[in-house]
Amino acid sequence: MFVTPAFAQGAAAPSGMDFISSFIPIILLIAIFWFLIFRPQQKRMKSHQAMLAAVKRGDTVVTNGGVVGKVTKAVDGEDLEVEIAQGVKIKVVRTMISDVRTKSEPVNDNK
């Protein structure tokens, strides 16, 4: 069981093509993750931000906690005031709105 001179010699140094071909599977995995995970997530995030920006008075919204109510006061960039029952109003952070169920017609503020 002695080592022969042929096995005792080390492997040849990797050439440039071997180095590049070893990174091809990693590059393919990154591309697959980008197209299947990151891009759809970015699209969903953009559509959610657009939905939050479009929330106005009179819309029926659902919060992340599952509370359904009607928006009674909506100021751009601030918290929303949501009526969840007759005479019961709560403040909700705009980013915690998960869905807008029904969109209403614009309400005339001149009373």
Residue-wise pLDDT tens digits, 47-79: 999 999 889 899 999 999 999 999 999 888 788
What's the chain's average pLDDT?
Answer: 83
Nearest CA among 59, 34, 52 for reference residue 97: 52
Contacts of 104 (CB under 8 A, 6+ apart): 56, 57, 58, 59, 60
Whether the predicted pLDDT of 8 surpasses 60? no
Q: Which residue has the tokens 């709560």?
A: 90
The SS3 of residue 91 is strand
Identify the pLDDT of residue 4. Answer: 62
DSSP characters over 54-83 = T--TT-EEEETT--EEEEEEE-TTS-EEEE
